[in-house]
């Protein structure tokens, strides 16, 4: 396994919300980045998001480097083979086990056999993802929080066969991105979503049952528990489709206490996914 000091180029699979955020923070930390997605339009959308984020941060004097220099460290591609020279790869594709296993099998074929392969999955089993490869000891969870450039936390998740050295490597890499880490075993939902999803779902149910207006539901939780966002606001921020996917996975694994709220399913079916679509529980510009 390579040492962190040997890592110069980081591969990121997926140019969506999480992937482009991971690419941005890695480039901001000085790494060269290869960001790959399956269509060139997705890659371009990822670059648009990065440039917008860098511009906002630069306007707040929150960058130590020129935003153009950071952007130039990132190369886009639709060819997974272009990750062949990467010293670390972080996968941030769809939360679909078959998709992730296919990606990891392909990554094993194109990368050197001492390269750590990390997944940004928020609920799926690291052990099952790793089973698609012959280097299960070098597969680890690196679960970044959204939005990646702003949130300071990263959850490191160890699979059944993840080597202690790979776990330590994941912690060190995240810390080099100016993040703080905590560690979870490979149990459904890990630390964050195992606790967060029931909280969000109960907030949605309480609102749907008329306990309070959506504004008072969120205000009560913010002022009463000192969290920065209430459950409805946070669900919109995460993406209602992502919340539903996570809840359904946890429901399947852990039973009815994780059953998705009916209103959450209805909103997703209507295409109101939160901030990214302009409407969820609230309306957005």
Start-to-end CA distance of the chain, whole Å, equals: 46
Asked if 122 is an active-site residue, the reply is yes
Asked if 155 is an active-site residue, the reply is yes
Point out the catalytic residue in the list 108, 125, 143, 201. Answer: 143
Evaluate whether 176 touches 6 at the Cβ level (below 8 Å): no
Binding residue ranges for NAD(+): 14-19, 37, 95, 100, 122, 146, 276
Point out the catalytic residue in the list 20, 53, 120, 122. Answer: 122
Strand partners, 90: 12, 118
Asked if 253 is an active-site residue, the reply is no
Point out the catalytic residue in the list 20, 184, 193, 201. Answer: 193
Asked if 72 is an active-site residue, the reply is no
Strand partners, 244: none
Angle between helices 262-269 and 240-254 (to 10 degrees): 140
Evaluate whether 70 touches 63 at the Cβ level (below 8 Å): yes
The catalytic site residues sit at: 122, 143, 155, 193
């Amino acid at each position: 396994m390579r040492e962190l000091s040997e890592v110069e180029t980081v591969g990121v699979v997926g140019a969506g919300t999480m992937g482009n955020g991971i690419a941005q923070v890695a480039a901001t930390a000085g790494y060269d980045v290869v960001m790959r997605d399956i269509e060139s339009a997705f890659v371009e959308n990822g670059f648009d998001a990065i440039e917008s984020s860098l511009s906002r941060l630069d306007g707040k004097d929150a960058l130590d480097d020129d935003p153009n220099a950071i952007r130039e460290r990132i190369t886009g591609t639709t060819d997974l083979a272009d990750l062949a020279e990467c010293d670390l790869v972080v996968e941030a594709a769809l939360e679909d086990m078959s998709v992730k296993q296919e990606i990891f099998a392909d990554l094993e074929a194109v990368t050197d056999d001492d390269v750590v392969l990390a997944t940004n999955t928020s609920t799926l089993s690291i052990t099952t993802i790793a089973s698609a490869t012959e280097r299960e000891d070098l597969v680890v969870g690196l679960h970044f929080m959204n939005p990646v450039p702003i949130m300071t936390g990263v959850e490191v998740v160890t699979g059944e066969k993840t080597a202690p050295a790979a776990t330590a490597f994941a912690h060190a890499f995240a810390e080099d991105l100016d993040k703080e880490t905590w560690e979870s075993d490979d149990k459904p939902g890990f630390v964050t979503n195992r606790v967060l999803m029931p909280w969000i779902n109960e907030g949605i149910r309480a609102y749907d049952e008329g306990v309070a207006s959506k504004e008072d539901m969120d205000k009560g939780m913010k002022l009463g528990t000192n969290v920065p966002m209430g459950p409805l606001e946070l669900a919109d921020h995460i993406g209602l489709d992502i919340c539903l996917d996570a809840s359904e996975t946890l429901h399947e694994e852990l039973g009815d206490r994780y059953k998705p709220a009916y209103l959450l399913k209805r909103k997703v079916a209507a295409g109101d996914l939160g901030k990214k679509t302009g409407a969820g529980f609230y309306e957005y510009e």
